């Protein structure tokens, strides 16, 4: 098999093909350096902070902590992988040799798959807690969560290795991309079936399952809300009857009380659902907003045999880079306990810094 567009062939050993280099113009190079460097630094700093603060959040149980900490470790690894790529973007080409580019591209692809599966497990844990609250302690525990994460990590490394070796022309599918990152070139036409399959099982399938999960949870909450509404309406009517013996109440008054009770129950339902799933939904939403445009662009380019316009790919690739530090922003916005833990951490460390 020969990849004529990029000049890589199977005549070289794995990881030692020269591979392509790109030379974007100076404006693109500066933009690439800035975006990749900022992303790498933010990903490292934010996820080190997450690893320090997340264990101190009282509302997280042991299972939650396993998945949140795993997500922080994966994003931290992504930031470390991106550091040498920010240096390469200065010159618009990869200066460290093909073996390192292919190794980092392989690790970056693995980390993306692990991020997607971890986000799914995090939301799956919330689904079980809402749909089977009584059986949750027996179905989910810390040991099982760790086993899931370890198995997923090992499986991702092994499966991706064989796919990239056999279907990816002995790792020559990993190249220094036009937007400044060593990554699998999913837009290669010959790799299109594997790209579609990889994205389908690692992202698109999870997105559809999460949509089903939250649809089911919404139906459960609605059923509970109707029961609460009926009980609240009955209690309101009884209270209205006993409010004052001398007060004359009409049918319209009773109907008004019932409607008010039902409205209160609906508000309770919406607030309860929002509060219980807002954090996990926001993490999943941020991940898929960051990655779905990129996967779609890659598959479209592979199927039609022509590259997507560079400016579009620049935007799509920059979105993927944001995912490494966005979770910290979400925690800061949505978790009061996270903000409190951050304030306590700053108070403890500030005297040491001054000393």
E strands within 7-146?
8-9
Handedness of CA 352, 72, 86, 96 (dihedral sign): positive
Length of the chain: 355
Cα 146 → chain centroid: 19
- The DSSP bridge partners found for residue 9 are 2
Per-residue pLDDT of the chain (355 residues; tens, 9 = 90+): 333 333 333 333 333 344 444 444 444 456 667 778 888 999 999 999 999 999 999 888 899 999 999 999 999 999 999 888 877 767 667 888 889 999 999 999 999 999 999 999 999 998 998 888 888 888 999 999 999 999 999 999 999 999 999 988 889 999 888 777 889 999 899 999 999 998 999 899 999 999 999 888 878 777 766 665 566 556 555 555 555 444 555 556 656 655 665 555 555 444 555 566 788 889 999 999 999 999 999 999 999 888 888 888 888 988 898 888 999 999 999 999 999 999 999 998 877 766 6
How far are the Cα atoms of 185, 212, 292, 307, 335 from residue 35, in angstroms, in the given order?
20, 35, 19, 22, 27
Give me the pLDDT at residue 9, please.
34
Give me the pLDDT at residue 273, please.
53
Distance separating alpha carbons of residues 325 and 181, to the nearest angstrom: 17
Query: Tokens representing 29?
Result: 């190079």
Give me the pLDDT at residue 338, please.
94
Has this prediction a pTM greater than 0.85?
no
Handedness of CA 146, 152, 157, 158 (dihedral sign): positive
Distance separating alpha carbons of residues 13 and 71, to the nearest angstrom: 34
CATH number corresponding to 2-349: 1.20.1070.10
Closest CA to 261 of 284, 240, 247, 245: 240
Query: Tokens representing 256?
Result: 């008004």
Asked whether 84 and 21 are in contact (CB, 8 A), the reply is no
Give me the pLDDT at residue 21, please.
44
Neighbours of 31 (CB within 10 A): 17
Q: Are strands 174-176 and 2-3 parallel, antiparallel or unpaired?
A: unpaired
Domain-by-domain residue ranges, the chain? 2-349
């Amino acid at each position: 098999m020969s990849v004529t567009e990029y000049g890589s062939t199977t005549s070289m050993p794995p990881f030692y093909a020269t591979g392509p280099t790109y030379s974007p113009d100076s404006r693109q190079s500066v933009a690439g350096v800035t975006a990749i460097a900022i992303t790498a630094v933010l990903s490292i700093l934010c996820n080190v902070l997450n690893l320090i603060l997340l264990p101190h959040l009282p509302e997280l149980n042991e299972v939650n902590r396993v998945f949140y900490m795993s997500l922080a470790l994966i994003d931290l690894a992504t930031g470390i992988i991106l550091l040498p790529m920010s240096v390469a973007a200065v010159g618009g080409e990869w200066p460290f040799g093909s073996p390192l580019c292919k190794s980092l591209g392989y690790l970056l692809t693995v980390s993306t798959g692990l991020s997607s599966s971890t986000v799914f497990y995090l939301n799956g844990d919330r689904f079980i807690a809402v749909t089977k609250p009584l059986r949750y302690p027996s179905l989910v525990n810390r040991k099982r969560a760790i086993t899931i994460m370890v198995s997923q990590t090992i499986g991702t490394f092994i499966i991706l290795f064989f796919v990239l070796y056999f279907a990816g022309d002995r790792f020559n599918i990993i190249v220094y991309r036009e937007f400044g990152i060593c990554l699998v070139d999913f837009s290669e036409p010959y790799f299109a079936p594997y790209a579609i399959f990889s994205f389908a099982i690692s992202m698109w399938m999870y997105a559809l399952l999460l949509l089903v999960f939250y649809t089911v949870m919404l139906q459960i909450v609605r059923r509970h809300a109707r029961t609460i509404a009926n009980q609240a309406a009955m209690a309101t009517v009884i209270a209205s009857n006993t409010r004052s013996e001398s007060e004359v109440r009409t049918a319209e008054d009773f109907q008004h009380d019932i409607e008010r009770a039902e409205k209160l129950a609906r508000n309770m339902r919406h607030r309860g659902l929002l509060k219980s799933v807002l954090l996990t939904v926001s993490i999943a939403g941020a991940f898929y907003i960051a990655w779905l445009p990129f996967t779609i662009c890659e598959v479209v380019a592979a199927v039609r045999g022509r590259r997507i316009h560079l400016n579009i790919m620049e935007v799509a690739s920059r979105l993927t880079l944001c995912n490494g530090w966005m979770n910290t922003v979400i925690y800061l916005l949505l978790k009061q306990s996270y903000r409190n833990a951050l304030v306590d951490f700053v108070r403890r460390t500030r005297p040491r810094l001054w000393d």
